[in-house]
Structure 1
């Protein structure tokens, strides 16, 4: 009996010792997936890598393993993968989930965000508060905001005016831009940005819109004759935040959450400083590769916005629940 009592006491002491050891109880590995090239200077990959490094340095029992280049999950499947627990984090073009939540289409709306400074004001607006509420209602949380400017590229000619797109096969990044291109007489090719190079090479697409970062990362200067850069009349801005599954977030303790929040703030500040440089790097890279680079005049930008108002904006307001109010909130940010 005495022997059994001693064993019970020892078992109790061991249980207490294990419970009091945070490294055993709290160590966690998070899987961060994204579609962008890794180790090649893509700013979106670097944001996620920065967060991983800084969280590791904080020594709070969290390791973030980064899977770039769609090596773990296909680009458009990452939203569902976060909700199901297949992945924990992602750098994600939010419009890719607009098939599930059509309101997200407003984060890739022609002419809605006009500049990098304007994007920062949008982040603090009621418009973005509404978008983030929908994100959270669906089991995901924003860790870091990121807005990327973008451009148009033509395989055989420059695209300046809406009529330049007539008859072209255009790869477009999302529904709202697709509607604008279609309104200008183009036919739409729907593929993610990491498949654009091959599509242009094989003649499946003759033109594309995408982010400045992707134009460089995916070496599209090898396939294009002319680039329409953002300049002072940017039409293309896309919200590509770093996200975490709320299921994962809720498993973290306060120290782990604080470390992840601090690392994400630092990554966001880095991105904000680098985002304008992406446009400059794109222009420099395309010119170096003998690609013609043009920008839109005020009149040309207005002509595109007029097409967008009749197509993208109207359809969004008519068909998306709360769409009209979302657009009005975004347009009120000066």
Structure 2
């Protein structure tokens, strides 16, 4: 009896070994982003949704999500992605404009007018041009996302251009930095994850960022006035989910299809949530005793005039294909 048990035991061990090998044979993609994890930030939720959808597809693919800069710092992610050291990221694209200055067109004052306009931009010639640059840089888009944003200050409400004079600002990208500097502000560059501490320590007086980041990073604890997007939103930023081209090419066709479907699900989820993010920000700031204002049409027009003389002009003159990108963006009704 003992001898007859040996093949069974050996067979069981072999089966367990094979099962373990099969389980470990899944392709694991690492997804990094800078935003708080598990706290309701829509960008984190988009990536988590993709991970869930890919798991449900059962195609031997897994996405491990590393939120809150736990894998890469915010501004390290594009380089890591393009070199194949990182598989997936949810990235404010203008963070990579130092390598690809064309990306600053996706945070150009006044280019996006509202959330519906942003969705129309996704399928436009303009975004086709941007996505060509993304692909040439070694990545591709899995999900589009445009976030509206505003201004917040510990000094005074930001409405007309003269209200920023003398304040030190964080603005997210070169185009807004140039516009704000043109209105008399000083500039300090940093990712949105560093705004809170910079305001707390006096490095910053004011900041631009997305409605979602204004809430996720609890900026309301450090400011006295918030300028919400309202009907005249000057600030919209493109923050897509991207995959490294090297990682993409390493997937089977079935896995690519599952990832594409997951990306579409994440994009659809964002589209449903987008407009509500702005009101959620207003509610959070009012609940915490922060004054909330909006720009008038006159304020918006004054800012746009400064932008045309500064950021638009510099982009057209100094960025490859710059004027064509601006023209293509402004052509989208």
- Shorter-chain TM band: over 0.9
Q: TM-score, normalised by structure 1?
A: 0.93
Question: What CA deviation, in whole Å up to 9, does each residue of 1:295-328 have, x standing for no partner?
Answer: 0110010001011010000000000010000000
Partners of 1:44 and 1:102 in 2: how far apart? 24
Matches within 5 A, 1:150-169: 150-169=149-168
- 2:7 alignment partner in structure 1: none
> For 2:36, what is the secondary structure of its paired residue?
coil
Question: What CA deviation, in whole Å up to 9, does each residue of 1:69-112 have, x standing for no partner?
Answer: 00110101100101222210000011011000100000000111
Matches within 5 A, 1:132-171: 132-171=131-170
Unmatched segments (≥5 aa) in structure 1: 1-17
Partners of 2:173 and 2:81 in 1: how far apart? 21
- 2:207 alignment partner in structure 1: 208
Contact between 1:23 and 1:61, CA under 8 Å: does it hold in 2? no
Partners of 1:221 and 1:110 in 2: how far apart? 23
> For 1:37, what is the secondary structure of its paired residue?
coil
The alignment status of 1:118 with 2:105, answered yes or no, reads: no
- 1:250 alignment partner in structure 2: 249
- 1:47 alignment partner in structure 2: 46
> Structure 2 vs 1, CA of residues 142 and 227 (structure 1 numbering), >3 Å: closer, same or farther?
same
User: How far is the alpha carbon of 1:134 from its aligned partner?
Assistant: 0.7
- 1:73 alignment partner in structure 2: 72
Partners of 1:112 and 1:302 in 2: how far apart? 13
Matches within 5 A, 1:226-265: 226-265=225-264
Partners of 1:315 and 1:114 in 2: how far apart? 21
Contact between 2:33 and 2:91, CA under 8 Å: does it hold in 1? yes
User: How far is the alpha carbon of 1:156 from its aligned partner?
Assistant: 1.8
- 1:175 alignment partner in structure 2: 174
Question: What CA deviation, in whole Å up to 9, does each residue of 1:141-165 have, x standing for no partner?
Answer: 1000000000000112101010001
- Corresponding residue pairs, total: 316
User: How far is the alpha carbon of 1:24 from its aligned partner?
Assistant: 7.2
Unmatched segments (≥5 aa) in structure 2: 1-17
User: How far is the alpha carbon of 1:27 from its aligned partner?
Assistant: 1.8
- 2:37 alignment partner in structure 1: 38
Partners of 1:267 and 1:163 in 2: how far apart? 40
- 2:103 alignment partner in structure 1: 104
Partners of 1:210 and 1:303 in 2: how far apart? 20
Question: What CA deviation, in whole Å up to 9, does each residue of 1:106-157 have, x standing for no partner?
Answer: 0000111010000011111100000001111111010000000000001121
User: How far is the alpha carbon of 1:25 from its aligned partner?
Assistant: 9.4
Worse-superposed segment, 23-32 or 127-136: 23-32
RMSD: 1.5
Partners of 2:115 and 2:23 in 1: how far apart? 44
Partners of 2:185 and 2:248 in 1: how far apart? 43
Partners of 1:70 and 1:314 in 2: how far apart? 34
> For 1:312, what is the secondary structure of its paired residue?
helix
> For 2:28, what is the secondary structure of its paired residue?
strand
- 2:275 alignment partner in structure 1: 276
Contact between 2:122 and 2:144, CA under 8 Å: does it hold in 1? yes
Partners of 2:181 and 2:331 in 1: how far apart? 27
Contact between 2:83 and 2:138, CA under 8 Å: does it hold in 1? no
